[in-house]
Amino acid sequence: MRRPGARRRAAALSAAITTAALLLVGCTPPGAARTETVHLTVDGIERSARVTSPAADDADRLPVVIALHGAGQNAARFDELTRFPDAVAERRFVLVTPSGTGANGLTLGWNAGACCQAAEGDVDDIAFLEDLVARVARDHPIDSERVYLAGFSNGGMLAYRAACERGERIAAIAVVAGSQVVDECPAPSAMAVYAMHGTADPTVPYDGGEPVRPPYPGAPLWENRSVAESLGFWAERDLCAGAPAATVDGPVTRQVWPGCRIVLDTVRGGEHTWFGAPGSREAGREPAGTPSATARILDFFELDPADPRSGTDPRVE
Protein backbone atom coordinates (compact mmCIF):
# COMPACT_ATOMS: atom_id res chain seq x y z
CA MET A 1 0.00 0.00 0.00
CA ARG A 2 1.39 3.44 -0.98
CA ARG A 3 2.04 6.00 1.69
CA PRO A 4 0.23 9.40 1.28
CA GLY A 5 3.52 11.12 0.41
CA ALA A 6 4.20 8.61 -2.34
CA ARG A 7 0.71 9.12 -3.80
CA ARG A 8 1.24 12.90 -3.88
CA ARG A 9 4.60 12.52 -5.60
CA ALA A 10 3.09 10.14 -8.15
CA ALA A 11 0.21 12.57 -8.84
CA ALA A 12 2.64 15.47 -9.26
CA LEU A 13 4.79 13.41 -11.64
CA SER A 14 1.70 12.42 -13.67
CA ALA A 15 0.60 16.08 -13.93
CA ALA A 16 4.08 17.13 -15.04
CA ILE A 17 4.16 14.43 -17.72
CA THR A 18 0.70 15.46 -18.97
CA THR A 19 1.72 19.13 -19.17
CA ALA A 20 4.93 18.25 -21.01
CA ALA A 21 2.99 16.11 -23.47
CA LEU A 22 0.57 18.94 -24.19
CA LEU A 23 3.44 21.31 -24.88
CA LEU A 24 5.20 18.80 -27.12
CA VAL A 25 2.18 18.18 -29.32
CA GLY A 26 1.17 21.85 -29.39
CA CYS A 27 -2.14 21.37 -27.59
CA THR A 28 -3.77 23.68 -25.09
CA PRO A 29 -5.75 22.50 -22.07
CA PRO A 30 -9.55 22.59 -22.60
CA GLY A 31 -11.17 25.84 -21.53
CA ALA A 32 -8.09 27.95 -22.26
CA ALA A 33 -7.78 31.03 -24.48
CA ARG A 34 -4.92 32.51 -26.43
CA THR A 35 -4.05 36.18 -26.95
CA GLU A 36 -2.15 37.70 -29.85
CA THR A 37 -1.42 41.27 -30.94
CA VAL A 38 -2.33 42.29 -34.48
CA HIS A 39 -1.02 45.35 -36.30
CA LEU A 40 -2.51 47.20 -39.24
CA THR A 41 -2.18 50.58 -40.95
CA VAL A 42 -5.27 52.73 -41.41
CA ASP A 43 -5.01 56.13 -43.17
CA GLY A 44 -1.25 56.00 -42.75
CA ILE A 45 -1.43 55.43 -38.98
CA GLU A 46 -0.02 52.29 -37.37
CA ARG A 47 -2.72 50.71 -35.21
CA SER A 48 -2.84 47.64 -32.99
CA ALA A 49 -5.25 45.43 -31.07
CA ARG A 50 -5.16 42.45 -28.74
CA VAL A 51 -7.19 39.48 -29.99
CA THR A 52 -8.19 36.76 -27.52
CA SER A 53 -9.90 33.62 -28.80
CA PRO A 54 -10.76 30.14 -27.52
CA ALA A 55 -7.64 27.98 -27.83
CA ALA A 56 -9.45 24.86 -29.03
CA ASP A 57 -10.16 24.65 -32.74
CA ASP A 58 -13.83 25.29 -33.39
CA ALA A 59 -15.69 24.89 -36.65
CA ASP A 60 -18.51 27.15 -35.46
CA ARG A 61 -18.44 30.82 -36.35
CA LEU A 62 -17.97 32.78 -33.15
CA PRO A 63 -19.43 36.15 -32.15
CA VAL A 64 -17.04 39.07 -31.74
CA VAL A 65 -16.88 41.51 -28.83
CA ILE A 66 -14.88 44.70 -29.48
CA ALA A 67 -13.86 46.24 -26.14
CA LEU A 68 -13.08 49.96 -26.29
CA HIS A 69 -11.01 51.46 -23.47
CA GLY A 70 -11.48 54.90 -21.96
CA ALA A 71 -9.35 57.98 -22.63
CA GLY A 72 -5.91 57.64 -21.08
CA GLN A 73 -5.99 53.82 -21.13
CA ASN A 74 -4.79 51.17 -23.59
CA ALA A 75 -5.78 47.68 -24.69
CA ALA A 76 -3.67 45.70 -22.22
CA ARG A 77 -4.83 47.80 -19.27
CA PHE A 78 -8.46 47.50 -20.36
CA ASP A 79 -8.24 43.71 -20.52
CA GLU A 80 -6.96 43.78 -16.94
CA LEU A 81 -9.81 46.03 -15.78
CA THR A 82 -12.67 44.23 -17.49
CA ARG A 83 -11.45 40.63 -17.25
CA PHE A 84 -13.18 40.00 -20.58
CA PRO A 85 -10.37 37.58 -21.57
CA ASP A 86 -11.29 35.34 -18.62
CA ALA A 87 -14.72 34.72 -20.16
CA VAL A 88 -13.64 34.02 -23.76
CA ALA A 89 -13.25 30.25 -23.54
CA GLU A 90 -16.37 29.63 -21.46
CA ARG A 91 -18.68 32.01 -23.30
CA ARG A 92 -17.24 31.12 -26.74
CA PHE A 93 -16.47 34.43 -28.44
CA VAL A 94 -13.55 36.30 -29.98
CA LEU A 95 -12.47 39.34 -27.96
CA VAL A 96 -10.89 42.25 -29.82
CA THR A 97 -9.37 44.97 -27.64
CA PRO A 98 -7.87 47.77 -29.75
CA SER A 99 -5.78 50.71 -28.61
CA GLY A 100 -6.73 54.28 -29.48
CA THR A 101 -4.34 57.00 -30.59
CA GLY A 102 -2.61 59.86 -28.81
CA ALA A 103 0.50 62.01 -28.68
CA ASN A 104 3.63 59.87 -28.42
CA GLY A 105 1.50 56.84 -27.70
CA LEU A 106 0.32 58.29 -24.40
CA THR A 107 -3.16 59.26 -23.11
CA LEU A 108 -4.75 57.14 -25.83
CA GLY A 109 -8.32 57.83 -26.84
CA TRP A 110 -10.94 57.75 -29.58
CA ASN A 111 -12.45 60.16 -32.06
CA ALA A 112 -15.96 59.78 -30.66
CA GLY A 113 -17.34 63.22 -31.49
CA ALA A 114 -17.21 66.12 -29.04
CA CYS A 115 -14.97 64.23 -26.60
CA CYS A 116 -12.18 64.28 -25.53
CA GLN A 117 -8.56 63.88 -26.60
CA ALA A 118 -5.94 64.38 -29.34
CA ALA A 119 -7.63 62.04 -31.83
CA GLU A 120 -10.69 64.28 -32.06
CA GLY A 121 -11.47 65.50 -35.58
CA ASP A 122 -8.68 63.74 -37.48
CA VAL A 123 -8.40 60.02 -36.80
CA ASP A 124 -10.97 57.83 -38.56
CA ASP A 125 -11.67 55.32 -35.80
CA ILE A 126 -14.79 54.03 -37.57
CA ALA A 127 -12.67 52.96 -40.55
CA PHE A 128 -10.18 51.44 -38.10
CA LEU A 129 -12.89 49.29 -36.49
CA GLU A 130 -14.13 48.13 -39.89
CA ASP A 131 -10.62 47.19 -41.07
CA LEU A 132 -9.95 45.51 -37.74
CA VAL A 133 -13.01 43.25 -38.01
CA ALA A 134 -11.97 42.34 -41.56
CA ARG A 135 -8.48 41.50 -40.33
CA VAL A 136 -9.79 39.31 -37.50
CA ALA A 137 -12.11 37.53 -39.94
CA ARG A 138 -9.06 36.47 -41.95
CA ASP A 139 -7.64 34.52 -39.03
CA HIS A 140 -10.72 33.41 -37.08
CA PRO A 141 -14.10 31.87 -37.94
CA ILE A 142 -16.32 34.77 -36.87
CA ASP A 143 -20.03 35.43 -37.22
CA SER A 144 -20.23 38.78 -39.01
CA GLU A 145 -23.84 39.18 -37.90
CA ARG A 146 -22.87 39.03 -34.22
CA VAL A 147 -20.37 41.85 -33.80
CA TYR A 148 -20.82 43.66 -30.48
CA LEU A 149 -19.21 46.83 -29.11
CA ALA A 150 -18.58 47.39 -25.40
CA GLY A 151 -16.96 50.65 -24.35
CA PHE A 152 -16.00 52.57 -21.23
CA SER A 153 -16.25 56.38 -21.07
CA ASN A 154 -14.66 57.73 -24.30
CA GLY A 155 -14.78 54.16 -25.65
CA GLY A 156 -18.50 54.02 -24.92
CA MET A 157 -18.89 57.28 -26.82
CA LEU A 158 -17.21 55.64 -29.81
CA ALA A 159 -19.64 52.72 -29.50
CA TYR A 160 -22.51 55.21 -29.79
CA ARG A 161 -20.85 56.84 -32.81
CA ALA A 162 -20.32 53.48 -34.50
CA ALA A 163 -23.98 52.61 -33.89
CA CYS A 164 -24.93 55.87 -35.57
CA GLU A 165 -22.68 55.45 -38.60
CA ARG A 166 -22.41 51.68 -39.07
CA GLY A 167 -25.39 50.35 -37.16
CA GLU A 168 -26.26 47.82 -39.84
CA ARG A 169 -22.99 46.01 -39.09
CA ILE A 170 -23.38 45.94 -35.30
CA ALA A 171 -25.63 43.56 -33.36
CA ALA A 172 -25.66 45.54 -30.09
CA ILE A 173 -23.64 48.02 -28.05
CA ALA A 174 -22.90 48.36 -24.34
CA VAL A 175 -21.75 51.61 -22.74
CA VAL A 176 -20.35 52.02 -19.23
CA ALA A 177 -19.97 55.58 -17.92
CA GLY A 178 -20.34 57.14 -21.37
CA SER A 179 -22.73 59.41 -23.24
CA GLN A 180 -23.60 60.03 -26.87
CA VAL A 181 -21.58 63.06 -28.00
CA VAL A 182 -22.12 63.08 -31.78
CA ASP A 183 -24.42 65.73 -33.20
CA GLU A 184 -25.56 63.74 -36.22
CA CYS A 185 -26.77 60.17 -36.10
CA PRO A 186 -27.82 58.73 -39.47
CA ALA A 187 -28.54 55.33 -37.92
CA PRO A 188 -30.34 53.23 -40.55
CA SER A 189 -31.95 50.80 -38.14
CA ALA A 190 -32.80 50.00 -34.55
CA MET A 191 -30.01 49.21 -32.12
CA ALA A 192 -29.93 47.09 -28.97
CA VAL A 193 -28.33 49.22 -26.24
CA TYR A 194 -27.18 48.38 -22.73
CA ALA A 195 -25.86 51.12 -20.41
CA MET A 196 -24.46 51.16 -16.88
CA HIS A 197 -23.79 54.49 -15.20
CA GLY A 198 -23.17 55.84 -11.71
CA THR A 199 -25.14 58.77 -10.30
CA ALA A 200 -21.98 60.28 -8.78
CA ASP A 201 -19.86 60.13 -11.96
CA PRO A 202 -17.68 63.31 -12.00
CA THR A 203 -16.25 62.76 -15.50
CA VAL A 204 -19.38 61.96 -17.50
CA PRO A 205 -22.07 63.38 -15.19
CA TYR A 206 -25.24 61.31 -15.02
CA ASP A 207 -27.37 64.41 -15.65
CA GLY A 208 -25.09 65.77 -18.37
CA GLY A 209 -22.86 68.83 -18.61
CA GLU A 210 -19.10 69.38 -18.51
CA PRO A 211 -16.82 67.05 -16.53
CA VAL A 212 -16.10 67.99 -12.94
CA ARG A 213 -13.02 65.76 -13.12
CA PRO A 214 -11.54 65.14 -16.64
CA PRO A 215 -10.30 61.63 -17.51
CA TYR A 216 -6.63 62.67 -17.30
CA PRO A 217 -4.68 65.88 -16.50
CA GLY A 218 -4.85 68.41 -19.31
CA ALA A 219 -7.78 66.81 -21.12
CA PRO A 220 -9.97 69.42 -22.84
CA LEU A 221 -13.50 69.83 -21.52
CA TRP A 222 -16.58 68.88 -23.49
CA GLU A 223 -20.34 68.85 -23.07
CA ASN A 224 -22.02 65.55 -22.21
CA ARG A 225 -25.59 64.61 -22.92
CA SER A 226 -27.35 63.14 -19.92
CA VAL A 227 -27.84 59.39 -19.65
CA ALA A 228 -31.59 59.94 -20.12
CA GLU A 229 -31.00 61.91 -23.33
CA SER A 230 -28.53 59.37 -24.72
CA LEU A 231 -30.86 56.42 -24.18
CA GLY A 232 -33.96 58.42 -24.97
CA PHE A 233 -32.59 59.02 -28.46
CA TRP A 234 -32.35 55.27 -29.09
CA ALA A 235 -35.69 54.55 -27.43
CA GLU A 236 -37.32 56.90 -29.94
CA ARG A 237 -35.29 55.50 -32.83
CA ASP A 238 -36.11 51.91 -31.84
CA LEU A 239 -39.83 52.69 -31.54
CA CYS A 240 -40.03 51.46 -27.97
CA ALA A 241 -43.57 51.01 -26.71
CA GLY A 242 -43.51 53.49 -23.82
CA ALA A 243 -41.70 54.51 -20.67
CA PRO A 244 -39.28 52.04 -19.08
CA ALA A 245 -40.27 49.77 -16.21
CA ALA A 246 -37.95 50.05 -13.18
CA THR A 247 -36.84 47.49 -10.61
CA VAL A 248 -34.44 48.01 -7.69
CA ASP A 249 -31.86 45.49 -6.53
CA GLY A 250 -29.44 46.80 -3.90
CA PRO A 251 -27.62 49.87 -5.26
CA VAL A 252 -28.80 49.24 -8.83
CA THR A 253 -32.01 50.46 -10.44
CA ARG A 254 -32.69 48.65 -13.70
CA GLN A 255 -34.86 50.25 -16.39
CA VAL A 256 -36.11 48.19 -19.30
CA TRP A 257 -37.87 49.84 -22.21
CA PRO A 258 -40.87 47.84 -23.51
CA GLY A 259 -41.04 46.66 -27.10
CA CYS A 260 -37.32 47.04 -27.80
CA ARG A 261 -33.91 46.02 -26.42
CA ILE A 262 -32.74 48.96 -24.34
CA VAL A 263 -31.63 48.41 -20.74
CA LEU A 264 -30.13 50.87 -18.23
CA ASP A 265 -28.54 49.91 -14.92
CA THR A 266 -28.14 53.01 -12.71
CA VAL A 267 -25.71 52.60 -9.81
CA ARG A 268 -26.63 54.88 -6.92
CA GLY A 269 -23.44 56.53 -5.68
CA GLY A 270 -21.33 54.94 -8.41
CA GLU A 271 -18.48 57.04 -9.79
CA HIS A 272 -16.51 56.95 -13.06
CA THR A 273 -15.41 53.32 -13.15
CA TRP A 274 -15.75 50.00 -14.90
CA PHE A 275 -18.01 48.40 -12.30
CA GLY A 276 -16.44 45.25 -10.94
CA ALA A 277 -12.89 46.22 -11.92
CA PRO A 278 -10.13 45.19 -9.49
CA GLY A 279 -9.92 47.74 -6.66
CA SER A 280 -12.96 49.75 -7.74
CA ARG A 281 -14.98 48.98 -4.62
CA GLU A 282 -11.98 49.39 -2.31
CA ALA A 283 -11.28 52.83 -3.82
CA GLY A 284 -14.85 53.93 -3.10
CA ARG A 285 -15.84 54.20 -6.76
CA GLU A 286 -18.77 51.80 -6.40
CA PRO A 287 -20.95 50.69 -3.49
CA ALA A 288 -21.01 47.17 -2.09
CA GLY A 289 -23.38 44.92 -3.99
CA THR A 290 -22.69 46.46 -7.39
CA PRO A 291 -22.70 43.75 -10.08
CA SER A 292 -19.96 43.21 -12.62
CA ALA A 293 -20.33 45.29 -15.77
CA THR A 294 -18.51 42.54 -17.66
CA ALA A 295 -20.99 39.85 -16.65
CA ARG A 296 -24.03 42.04 -17.31
CA ILE A 297 -22.76 42.99 -20.76
CA LEU A 298 -22.03 39.42 -21.81
CA ASP A 299 -25.49 38.42 -20.58
CA PHE A 300 -27.04 41.26 -22.60
CA PHE A 301 -25.11 40.12 -25.67
CA GLU A 302 -26.56 36.64 -24.98
CA LEU A 303 -23.12 35.05 -24.80
CA ASP A 304 -24.10 32.24 -22.46
CA PRO A 305 -21.68 29.65 -21.07
CA ALA A 306 -21.63 26.43 -23.10
CA ASP A 307 -22.49 24.49 -19.95
CA PRO A 308 -24.65 26.56 -17.58
CA ARG A 309 -23.67 24.32 -14.68
CA SER A 310 -20.07 25.54 -14.96
CA GLY A 311 -20.92 29.20 -15.42
CA THR A 312 -19.18 31.72 -13.17
CA ASP A 313 -19.60 35.41 -12.66
CA PRO A 314 -16.31 37.04 -13.80
CA ARG A 315 -16.71 39.74 -11.20
CA VAL A 316 -13.60 40.31 -9.08
CA GLU A 317 -14.61 40.38 -5.44
Higher pLDDT, 216 or 41: 41
- pLDDT for 233 equals 94
- pLDDT for 119 equals 60
For 171-206, b where at least 16 C-beta lie within 10 A, e where not — what string?
Answer: bbbbbbbbbbbbeebebeeebbbbbbbbbbbebbbb
Structural domain span for residue 20: 1-30
Are 19 and 148 found together in one domain?
Answer: no
Are 18 and 43 found together in one domain?
Answer: no
Are 78 and 227 found together in one domain?
Answer: yes
- pLDDT for 57 equals 57
Rounded mean pLDDT, 33-55? 95
The DSSP string of the chain is ---HHHHHHHHHHHHHHHHHHHHHHT---TT-EEEEEEEEEETTEEEEEEEEEESS---SPEEEEEEEPPTT--HHHHHHHH-GGGGHHHHT-EEEEE--B-GGG-S-B---SS--STTTTT--HHHHHHHHHHHHHHHS-EEEEEEEEEEETHHHHHHHHHHHHHGGG-SEEEEES-----S-----S--EEEEEEETT-SSS-TT-BS-SS-SSTTPPP-PBPPHHHHHHHHHHHTT--SSPEEEEETTEEEEE-TTS-EEEEEETT--SS-TT-TTTTTTTSS-TTPPPHHHHHHHHTT---SSGGG-------
Rounded mean pLDDT, 256-269? 98
Residue 160's closest CA among 168, 171, 169, 149?
149
Are 267 and 295 found together in one domain?
Answer: yes
- pLDDT for 145 equals 96
Are 3 and 102 found together in one domain?
Answer: no
Are 13 and 136 found together in one domain?
Answer: no
| 119-163: pLDDT as tens digits | 656 899 999 999 999 999 999 999 999 999 999 999 999 999 999
- pLDDT for 103 equals 73
Residue 104: pLDDT band with limits 50, 70, 90: low
CB of 224 closer than 8 Å to CB of 211: yes
Are 13 and 110 found together in one domain?
Answer: no
- pLDDT for 31 equals 64
Are 18 and 138 found together in one domain?
Answer: no
Could you tell me if residue 317 is inside a domain? no
| Torsion of the alpha carbons at 233, 238, 240 and 246, rounded to the nearest 10 | -60
| 234-252: pLDDT as tens digits | 999 999 999 999 999 999 9
Are 46 and 149 found together in one domain?
Answer: yes
Judge whether residue 62 has pLDDT over 90: yes
- pLDDT for 117 equals 63
Lowest mean pLDDT among 12-16, 120-124, 150-154, 203-207: 12-16
Share of the chain above pLDDT 70, in %: 83
| 64-76: pLDDT as tens digits | 999 999 998 999 9
Q: What pTM, to 2 d.p., does this model score?
A: 0.86
Judge whether residue 41 has pLDDT over 90: yes
CATH number for the domain spanning 284: value is: 3.40.50.1820
Could you tell me if residue 126 is inside a domain? yes
**How many domains does the chain contain in total?**
2
The identity of residue 90, as a single letter, is: E
- pLDDT for 59 equals 62
Judge whether residue 313 has pLDDT over 50: no
Residue 20: pLDDT band with limits 50, 70, 90: very low
Mean pLDDT of the chain: 86
Could you tell me if residue 315 is inside a domain? no
Could you tell me if residue 316 is inside a domain? no
Are 114 and 6 found together in one domain?
Answer: no
CB of 161 closer than 8 Å to CB of 183: no
